[in-house]
Amino acid sequence: MQLIYEKSTPGRNGVRLPASDVPAAAALPESLLRTEAAGLPEVSELDLVRHFTILSQRNFSVDTNFYPLGSCTMKYNAKVLENAAALFAPFHPMTALLPQGAACCQGTLGMLYDLGQMLADITGMDEVTTQPLAGAHGEMTGIMLISAYHKAKGNKKKYVLVPDSSHGTNPASAAMAGYEIITVPTAPYGDMDLELFKKAMNSEVAAVMMTCPNTLGLFNPHIKEISDIAHSHDALMYYDGANLNAIMGKVKPGDVGFDVVHVNLHKTFGTPHGGGGPGAGPVGVKKSLIPFLPQPRIVMDGEGQFLLETANQLSIGRTANFFGNFGVMVKAYAYIIMLGRQGLIQVSEQAVLNANYIKEKLKAYYDVPYDMTCMHECVFSASKQLAHGVHAIDIAKYLIDKGYHPPTVYFPMIVKEAIMIEPTETESKATMDAFIQVMIEAAQVAETDPQALHDAPLTMPIGRLDETKAAREQNVCCQW
């Protein structure tokens, strides 16, 4: 494909600009004026439309291809949810913050309040703030709440404890909030080692941050014992609920001892993601943490009116404007209402069934380092293929040629040559069967023609990149 600059023809133009209406007095100082023309491509409207349309078709998306990227929940999100968000656009809570105050947008505040209540019910928490704008932002907010809780109690706390299989954002958020990290290794049974956890636990631990099921897709059977031990040291339990489709309607984190939970609305609750679009990471807390929640906080008075609490000195303050990403909240609200309690349970059951189906079908071909019934995702290792010089990355690149987005590779880091597959609940058996077939084929090619895997991808505009060079010599400028 030609670059847009290569299509440039001097004098060609796709726009007709109106005469400038900026007063000459507003002109920039001489020193700031450009001395050479900007060198923009000179193209027609049609050239430009073709350029961007071709680029858009190069996107790999859930709407075009199977996208089993583990830990990311790249499921299909119904288009009707976008309609719901569009419908609510005129009711953005910006109006609530105008001088008229909360009285003028009771419907909007009510919707946000109800969504908070529904998420609190799903996670087993007492109250939810919708403010955080992403999962990592939710973690940061959650750890700040925990920090405020300990400060108010006069607790001297220094550490946050995380398992070594944790999502990288967990230790990063805890470190950003000022804590030192203690990492606990994974036991051969695939979960945080209980004995090592007991040894690591001490009275200076502020919180234990866990993903359950963890990034190996396994639900921790000792979770209640872990939270009891943590609580005996007045440490709080943080639940990373980014991928809630593993347990929704089945287990409430609050019931197994968690005190703080974030959920990713852009993974589980109706908002597509992956293109850097807006997400949301609402945070739920148990009663003891409610006083510290971000403000303005939506509360209901005795008459069913929604008010904004803004003057609580214990609050960690505002973490985002407009109660978070409003459009994403609308989609989550519509998603939960649309599916209902039974529907949400079915989502989890299907997500777990699909992941186990793929695990069972592929385990004769790929090593499964922790071979147990998994939850919403399964983790293989390409260690068998390594004997032929084939790495996880080679299989990932081969899948691109076959029309599949690669699974997550080399994560979780505790698995050598990890291949982490999350089919999600929205894929059909036929789609999974076709994918399984290609994965089997890749395992066979690894034995018979490893070079073919090293050469992939061959069907893409760009072939295999030197990833080490790209990481070491980052150049994000446009130099072709």
Q: Which residues would be at the binding site for ligand PLP (CB under 6 A)?
A: 71, 134-136, 167, 169, 211, 240, 242-243, 264, 279, 281
Q: Identify which of residues 279 and 423 has a Cβ nearer to ligand PLP in the complex.
A: 279
- Which residues are CB-contacts of 222 (< 8 A; sequence separation ≥ 6)? 191, 194
* Cβ-contact 348, 247 below 8 angstroms: yes
The least CB distance from residue 130 to ligand PLP, in Å, is: 14
CA distance 398 to 459: 10
Backbone angles phi, psi at 237, to 5 degrees: -100, 120
**DSSP at 179:** P
Q: Identify which of residues 355 and 445 has a Cβ nearer to ligand PLP in the complex.
A: 355
Q: What is the 3-state secondary structure (H, E, C) of 386-454?
A: HCCCCCHHHHHHHHHHCCCCCCEECCCCCCCCEEEECCCCCCCHHHHHHHHHHHHHHHHHHHHCHHHHH
CA distance 471 to 454: 20
Q: Identify which of residues 191 and 240 has a Cβ nearer to ligand PLP in the complex.
A: 240
DSSP string, 293-322: --SSEEEE-TTS-EEEE---TTS---SSGG
The least CB distance from residue 450 to ligand PLP, in Å, is: 32
CA distance 386 to 480: 34
Q: Identify which of residues 279 and 407 has a Cβ nearer to ligand PLP in the complex.
A: 279
- Which residues are CB-contacts of 241 (< 8 A; sequence separation ≥ 6)? 123, 253, 261, 262, 263, 264
Residue facing ligand PLP at closest CB distance: 135
The least CB distance from residue 387 to ligand PLP, in Å, is: 31
Residues linked to residue 380 through DSSP beta bridges, in sequence order: 419
Taking Cα atoms as reference points, which of 102, 145, 142 lies closest to residue 300?
A: 102
Q: Identify which of residues 81 and 261 has a Cβ nearer to ligand PLP in the complex.
A: 261
The least CB distance from residue 123 to ligand PLP, in Å, is: 15
Q: Identify which of residues 71 and 220 has a Cβ nearer to ligand PLP in the complex.
A: 71
The least CB distance from residue 238 to ligand PLP, in Å, is: 11
- What is the largest distance, in Å, between two alpha-carbon atoms of the chain? 76
The least CB distance from residue 126 to ligand PLP, in Å, is: 22
The least CB distance from residue 425 to ligand PLP, in Å, is: 16
The least CB distance from residue 243 to ligand PLP, in Å, is: 5
Q: Identify which of residues 96 and 415 has a Cβ nearer to ligand PLP in the complex.
A: 415
The least CB distance from residue 136 to ligand PLP, in Å, is: 3
How wide is the angle at C-alpha 326 spanned by C-alphas 320 and 328, nearest 5°?
110
Q: Identify which of residues 274 and 457 has a Cβ nearer to ligand PLP in the complex.
A: 274
The least CB distance from residue 421 to ligand PLP, in Å, is: 14
Q: Give, rounded to a whole angstrom, the gap between the first and last alpha carbons of the chain.
A: 13
Q: Identify which of residues 137 and 157 has a Cβ nearer to ligand PLP in the complex.
A: 137
- Distance (Å) of CA 34 to CA 25, 29, 270, 474, 477: 17, 11, 46, 28, 20
Residues linked to residue 298 through DSSP beta bridges, in sequence order: 308
Q: Identify which of residues 85 and 210 has a Cβ nearer to ligand PLP in the complex.
A: 210
The pair of structure tokens assigned to 476 is: 């994000």
